[in-house]
Chains A and B, each alone.
Chain A
Amino acid sequence: MTSQSLTDTPVTSRSSLKPIPVAFNGRGGEYFGIWIVNIALTVLTLGIYSAWAKVRNKRYFYGNTEVAGASFEYLATGGQILKGRLIAVAVFVVFSLLSSFISPEVYGLFMLAFMAAMPWLINAGLRFNARYSAYRGVRFRFTGTYWAACKAFFLYPLLGMITLGIMMPHAMHYAARYVVTNHAYGNKAFKFDATVKQYQSVVLGLVIGIIASIALIAIGFSQASIAMIAVGYLAIYGLSLAFKPLLFNVYWQGVNLQKNRFEANMPVGRFIWVFISNSIVVALTLGLAFPWAQVRLAHLNANSLTFLHAGNLGSIAASQAKEMSAVGEELGEVYDVDVGFGI
């Protein structure tokens, strides 16, 4: 492990940023042991241990992610998660039971209330996660508001759909910016300088690719060439997978904090290969290769990032933070509401 001298003076020009590769040090075999013990204890305790298992899984991926010599810490406790999870499951069960006894009108009202709570759930999840994530002993924070989350996750995507996708790049940009700029590390907020144009070119590239593939399939049908049809379908599948690495690169290059930033270049072909081979191996082993697949993906994510250090991290101060409950986060998980910081 290299030690960084981090008390040096801040630098301003981009060329003087010091590139430090982001590293992931986990190993599939090692994580398998942790994962299987987690599952065994979860089964033996009839699910109760799952809260501690979640913490251990998260801590494994945090602790093995190294940026500039320091690792990430996940600080939530199993007890906290269990409490949140129990309340969330109770709410879920009551809601599901109620829904079969009440009239459709009341049920509709319930659904509306639930829809209205969605932005709050997303925020609660992000807030909890940030609050209990730390780097160099300093915690993260999330300060997004209800109304901004409404716009980021519902109104703008809706607008994107109404305009047949023309506004979609704007919506994607807004959502990413919302998530990034409302995160803070200690007392300093993150900034996001990816442009709508970058999102537009990603979307445009994919749309052109898909149109070309459809054309290829059409020509394939007219000439009865199965090879052409197959290539067309494969191309569409590949393009849909290419979306993630392309967005990953735009997103992480846009994230910055006090002039510290990231270089991101996830190779599209490599991502598609990892994704497809992971899926096949996990399916063939009936899920047993899941830890290996997860570690492999974490390696790819980390290897695609380079931290550009401005040398001023040491001046960032921690900010006061109150303890908070995991109910919102766990409710979001029960209903599968999930917005990751890293997309």
Chain B
Amino acid sequence: MNVQFKKGALELCVLVFTLKKDRYGYELVHSISDKIQIAEGTVYPLLRRLTKEGYFATYLAESNEGPPRKYYQLTKAGREYLEQLVQEWQQFSASVNEIIEEGMD
């Protein structure tokens, strides 16, 4: 798949996964790589950027196994950004689908 395209979609997925529940890094990355083929390591730079831009807040919480985990929590700005991305995505994918349907007739 086209790399830039995948990056945009990845950003959307990461934000969606944190909407209902705070997630820790591995959990987040794993839930994506389960469905989409990616180099798992490239998700962390994305998380870092989204955090820097204020869409995520992070905190450490104890875990049952091993050391404390870093959790990602969607901020208010993150929620708004996600809504905007989802809307753009839906418009975009609807248009692409339309084009495909017309073209493949």
Is the pairing of A and B real? no
A residues near B (Cβ < 8 Å) are none
